[in-house]
């Protein structure tokens, strides 16, 4: 089975603390690394968790608040020091160019690699990346500035052909891929064998949804429905609901309500406010609504 796992590099919010790093995650799909957000200190987290930084394929930035982008300049410089030569793709709001341009103009002539910036439309649901294994979609979140969520969706895998059927019908190797894709098989004596006799269903494709930062927004449910894992910000406890509304963030209970309504399999809550030294209150509030909830933590790996 193709590897599909998420590593939490940072799950804190804007105010730096010694408990949590600012937002960043790595998504590993078939040994290609995709980064979501790049808060301050992200490259140190990559070192700490022994990540192969040169395997980094693309970076997806949800929005241009500092706790999601301040780690980028340092990371880009480190990639240069490591001798990276392959292009690096960054997907972000168009204003990312204003943030990166001065840095690139000052240091960019030293970079042995090219940075490709693809602007996101934070008000649309759109396919932004696709390869042989996955598709990545962006969709609008509800925050103080234009913000995008991301959905990583594994592509449909081929059906499993039964070994005994290959032997029984003497199926040649050249026909196996066609059968795995759903085709029937015509025997030498002119008999059609239905695909469902020859194969078993493929394992359903896996999906991972990332929603940070956002106010409570049921409008996102169609974009994340039935995800295997949903990461949703839970900056505050319900007692701070008014503060959550003012800052366009979510409470742990609201994150759980989204997970329940979207019928996801598992919820990971993160982006914790610096006011919480203990997170049990947030977990209890979320689990009361959606029992399959876990707290994010630095170094946590989620296997889909």
Q: Sheet of 88-93: strands edge to edge?
A: 115-120, 88-93, 56-60, 32-38, 24-29, 4-10, 301-303
212 phi and psi angles, rounded to 5 deg: -160, 125
* HSE-CB for 180 with a 13 A CA cutoff: 15
Interatomic CA distance for residues 153 and 208, integer angstroms: 7
**Residues contacting residue 2 through CB under 8 Å, at least 6 positions apart:** 29, 30, 133, 154, 157
Of the residues 37, 67, 213, 228, only one is catalytic, namely 67
Interatomic CA distance for residues 3 and 54, integer angstroms: 18
Asked whether the beta carbons of 28 and 52 are under 8 A apart, the reply is no
Interatomic CA distance for residues 98 and 104, integer angstroms: 10
Q: In the structure encoding, which two tokens stand for residue 128, read together? A: 């932004």
Q: 80 pairs with which residues across the strands? A: none
Asked whether the beta carbons of 226 and 263 are under 8 A apart, the reply is yes
Task: Say whether 121 is catalytic.
Answer: no
Which residues are designated catalytic? Answer: 67
């Amino acid at each position: 089975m193709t590897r599909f796992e998420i590593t939490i590099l940072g799950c804190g919010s804007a105010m730096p603390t010694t408990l949590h790093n600012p937002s960043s995650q790595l998504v590993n799909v078939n040994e290609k690394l995709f980064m979501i957000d790049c808060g301050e200190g992200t490259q140190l987290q990559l070192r700490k968790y022994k990540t192969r930084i040169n395997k980094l394929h693309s970076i997806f930035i949800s929005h241009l608040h500092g706790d999601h982008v301040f780690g980028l300049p340092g990371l880009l410089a480190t990639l240069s020091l490591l001798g990276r030569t392959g292009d690096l793709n960054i997907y972000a709001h168009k204003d990312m160019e204003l943030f990166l341009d001065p840095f690139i103009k000052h240091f960019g002539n030293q970079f042995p690699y090219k940075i490709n910036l693809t602007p996101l439309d934070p008000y649309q649901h759109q396919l932004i990346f696709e390869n042989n294994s996955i598709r990545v979609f962006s969709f609008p979140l509800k925050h103080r500035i234009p913000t995008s969520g991301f959905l990583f969706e594994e592509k449909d895998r081929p059906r499993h052909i039964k070994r005994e059927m290959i032997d029984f019908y003497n199926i040649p190797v050249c026909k196996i891929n066609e059968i795995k894709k759903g085709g029937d098989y015509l025997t030498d004596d002119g008999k059609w064998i239905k695909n469902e006799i020859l194969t078993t269903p493929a394992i359903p494709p896996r999906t991972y949804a990332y929603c940070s930062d956002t106010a409570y927004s049921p409008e996102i449910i169609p974009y994340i429905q039935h995800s295997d894992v949903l990461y949703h910000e839970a900056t505050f406890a319900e007692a701070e609901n008014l503060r959550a509304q003012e800052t366009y963030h979510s409470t742990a209970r609201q994150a759980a309500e989204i997970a329940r309504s979207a019928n996801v399999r598992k919820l990971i809550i993160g982006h914790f406010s610096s006011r919480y030294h203990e997170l049990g209150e947030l977990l209890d509030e979320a689990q009361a609504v959606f029992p399959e909830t876990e707290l994010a933590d630095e170094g946590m790996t989620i296997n889909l």
